[in-house]
Amino acid sequence: MWEPLNLFARVAAAGSFLAAAEREKRSAATLARGIGALERDLGYPLFLRGRSGVTLTEKGIALLALVAPLTGEMDLLETAARGLASAAAIQPVRITGTEPVIAEIIAPAVSGLLRDLPDLKIDLHITNALVNLTRYDAEIALRLVEPAGNSLLTRRLALFSLALYRHESLPADQAGVIGYDLSLGVTPEVRWVRDAGFEDRVRLRSSSTRTLLNAVKAGAGMAVLPDIIAESVPGLVRVEGLPRVQPKPLYMIVHRDVARRPEVRALMRWLVRLFRNA
């Protein structure tokens, strides 16, 4: 019965059959049939189906609490078993993080690391979601929120300062505001725009920092951006005389079991040096 329960945990983590299907390389219909069979076998529904995805029922939440810890252990066992075929092979290390961290900070600096460690393989994955490290969705997660859990190793890498920026050709008193998508939650950027009284001037929203940056460069409005990115763009200037934006910490989180791998330890040391220098 493990495979249906494992499938249930995968769908619960993804939030929809379609998202889970993309991760598992199966069709959404196949996953839906598998979950339906499990629900009939158990005698109670696990999910409430909706247009935007699935939501766990009360019994589904209780079952997930029992299954989730086991999925990580089974994934680790499967990885170890596959590794026996070639003990010397170095497995790829997946690093997840937000777009500015992955695209603007890590990607430009990674060439030196790959040159120094020619056998190292890295997957850089951009996501705003909180990946499940106990399920080994990634080896290293770079998050803006400090997690809880005794199985996780956490280290603060940086504290990003932010400010409101505009293009120098656009007067601040005539500019609209470009804000972050509210589906990301009440982030420091969203909270600052609201508290500073700019909410009525928001004319465009996006979940992508790069999109906001390019829109500001084009003169579409002002946006709260990380200083480390905005200060390097010609033509962008900080809007002065405004309340300070709350800085955002960046944490490196690794599962304790995964941290034993030599290639993961090497990447952890490199990330510490990278953000220390940045």
Q: What is the CATH number of domain 2-85?
A: 1.10.10.10
To 5 degrees, how large is the angle CA 187–CA 191–CA 194? 145
Transcribe 161-221 into DSSP letters. Answer: -EEEEEETTS-GGG--EEEE-GGG-S-HHHHHHHHTT-GGGEEEEES-HHHHHHHHHTTS-
Report residue 173 CA to chain centroid gap.
35
Query: Is residue 273 predicted with pLDDT exceeding 70?
Result: yes
> Which tens digits make up the pLDDT trace of 19-59?
888 887 888 888 889 999 999 999 999 999 888 788 999 99
pLDDT for residue 183: 75
> Which tens digits make up the pLDDT trace of 237-248?
999 999 999 898
> How does residue 64 score in pLDDT terms, banded at 50, 70 and 90?
confident
User: Where exactly are the structural domains of the chain?
Assistant: 2-85, 90-157+249-277, 162-246
**Which candidate, 206, 216, 213, places its Cα nearest to that of 183?**
206
Do the two domains 2-85 and 162-246 of this chain adopt the same fold? no
**Which candidate, 95, 141, 132, places its Cα nearest to that of 12?**
132
Is the whole-model pTM more than 0.85? no
> Which tens digits make up the pLDDT trace of 111-132?
988 988 888 889 999 887 666 6
What fold does the segment set 90-157+249-277 form as a domain? D-Maltodextrin-Binding Protein; domain 2 (3.40.190)
pLDDT for residue 134: 56
One of 3.40.50.10320, 3.40.190.10, 1.20.1250.20, 3.40.1010.10 is the CATH number of 162-246, namely 3.40.190.10
> Which tens digits make up the pLDDT trace of 128-177?
766 665 555 678 989 887 776 667 889 999 999 999 999 999 998 889 99
